[in-house]
């Protein structure tokens, strides 16, 4: 199975900050990398697919980049409603594995 | 698009449970479906996939041989039959649409395995 490792496991930032979450796969996954946001008590929501494509309705302050095995989710101008846990997921090889999550808190 | 899970609850170790997912707002028979679970305070784990026609099925190793995914395209419904349940199967189980990227999720159904 492909292992997916996120860092950091948690972070705290202020409204208006730019934050970055990284995701590393144990082998190349080409462009098969998705990002999800999960707010407390809610189901996950797709933010970004295929590394950098924004899902419909997602604000443009969210962006994704990377290639091969290393990927990044960036949130520019962090908003209070962005608190929650963010997960990356590889969809290159079954089982489609998720990272362990990054909890984002607002200072 | 709506996905509504039901059938969760408390079950003893070794017991069985059947989850259902009622769908609406899209042509169910055209879409791949999955079950994804989340143990309390933990991350997401994909556990099973079924193709739109039901002919292709995959399972995570953690549930293979114990869980069975199925669908009824005439009733727009997805199912997960769970048997030989263990404490480590305790989780919120999400019904989820699409496979290469999950675009829609249900609200989840809590399954608690405990004596």
The tens place of each residue's pLDDT in chain A, 107 residues long, gives 999 999 999 999 999 999 999 999 999 999 999 999 999 999 999 999 999 999 999 999 999 999 999 999 999 999 999 999 999 999 999 999 999 999 999 99
- E strands, chain A, in order: 4-7, 10-13, 19-25, 33-38, 45-49, 53-54, 62-67, 70-75, 84-90, 102-106
Does B105 sit within 8 Å of A55, measured CB to CB?
no
- Is A92 part of the contact surface with chain B (CB cutoff 8 Å)? no
Would the CB atoms of A96 and B46 count as touching at under 8 Å? Answer: yes
CA distance A75 to chain B (A): 20
Chain B residues 52-91 with CB within 8 Å of chain A: 58, 60-61
């Amino acid at each position: 199975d492909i292992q997916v490792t996120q860092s950091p496991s948690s972070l705290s930032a202020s409204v208006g900050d730019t934050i970055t979450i990284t995701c590393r796969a144990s082998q190349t996954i080409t462009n098969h990398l998705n990002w999800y946001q999960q707010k407390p008590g809610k189901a996950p929501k797709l933010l970004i697919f295929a590394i950098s494509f924004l899902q419909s309705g997602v604000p443009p302050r969210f962006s994704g980049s990377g290639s091969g095995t290393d990927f990044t989710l960036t949130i520019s101008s962090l908003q209070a409603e962005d608190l929650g846990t963010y997960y990356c997921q590889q969809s290159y090889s079954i089982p489609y594995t998720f990272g362990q999550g990054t909890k984002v808190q607002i200072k | 698009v709506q996905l509504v899970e039901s059938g969760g609850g408390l079950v003893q170790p070794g017991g069985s449970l059947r989850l259902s997912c009622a769908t609406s707002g899209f042509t169910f028979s055209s879409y791949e479906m999955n079950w994804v679970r989340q143990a309390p305070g933990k991350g997401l784990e994909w556990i099973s996939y079924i193709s739109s026609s039901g002919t292709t099925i995959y399972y995570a190793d953690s549930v293979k041989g114990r869980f069975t995914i199925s669908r009824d395209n005439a009733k727009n419904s997805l199912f997960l039959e769970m048997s030989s349940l263990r404490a480590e199967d305790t989780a919120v189980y999400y019904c989820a649409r699409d496979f290469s990227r999950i675009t829609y999720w249900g609200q989840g159904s809590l399954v608690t395995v405990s004596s």
